[in-house]
Amino acid sequence: MNIVNVGYQSTNYYAIDIKGGKLLVDCGWPGTLPQFSAELKRKGIGIQDIKYLFVTHFHPDHAGLTQELKNLGIKHLLPDVQVDFVSQLTEFFKTKNFPYVQIQTDDSIRLQLSESRKFLAGIGLAGEIIHTPGHSDDSVTLILDEGFAFTGDLHPVFVLPEEDTVSRQSWDKIYQHKIVRIFPAHGK
């Protein structure tokens, strides 16, 4: 399994091998497409190699480039639990001076999480996407059966306050799978 960190500006973005190209997990701030392209190039990946994008949650440093990437022909996977959160990101950028391109979800691929294993198998990945709220209600985690978990901004257990039972339950859900390596959206 080839997984490449194509992150920049202190956020990790992961390009994962799939059938005929790459799946991208998360994407950067609006207007950073040149930086992203440069980072891909440095890692030997062409932007045309990326076939699918999904974001772990709709925060600006994880989903800001979504529409810009869609406009390049990259297909956006939209888990059912995230549908209502796209507009929150649009709302966030309304008052800010970013070259944000508003995300249009009508042509995104809606994904029932219960069907995610089937969908991923179709693009050559053995695994599933599960709902892991805590950092945000729309946070999801990609689990690959070889034991890899892409957890977005779900905070590590050792920094969680005792009362954050939602995040703790999400980690419990993640560790119901055999996990050997965590790929967080920030840090190592």
List contacts with Zn ion (CB under 5 A).
59, 153
Nearest approach, Cβ of 161 to Zn ion (angstroms)?
17
Nearer to Zn ion, 56 or 108 (CB): 56
Nearer to Zn ion, 72 or 166 (CB): 166
The one-letter amino acid code at 77 reads L
Nearer to Zn ion, 39 or 153 (CB): 153
Q: Is the dihedral of CA 10, 11, 17, 23 positive or negative?
A: negative
Nearest approach, Cβ of 139 to Zn ion (angstroms)?
8
User: What is the largest distance, in Å, between two alpha-carbon atoms of the chain?
Assistant: 44
- Return d(Cα 61, Cα 27) in angstroms, integer: 7
Nearer to Zn ion, 59 or 70 (CB): 59
Nearest approach, Cβ of 159 to Zn ion (angstroms)?
14
CA 160 centroid distance within chain: 22
Nearest approach, Cβ of 126 to Zn ion (angstroms)?
27
The one-letter amino acid code at 150 reads F
The residue whose Cβ lies closest to Zn ion is: 59
Nearer to Zn ion, 27 or 125 (CB): 27
**How far, CA to CA in Å, does 64 sit from each of 20, 88, 123?**
25, 12, 24
**How far, CA to CA in Å, does 185 sit from each of 68, 100, 149?**
20, 21, 11
Nearest approach, Cβ of 134 to Zn ion (angstroms)?
11
Nearer to Zn ion, 17 or 164 (CB): 164
Nearest approach, Cβ of 152 to Zn ion (angstroms)?
7
Tokens of 39: 């980072």
Report phi then psi at 185, rounded to 5. Answer: -80, -15
- Return d(Cα 139, Cα 152) in angstroms, integer: 7
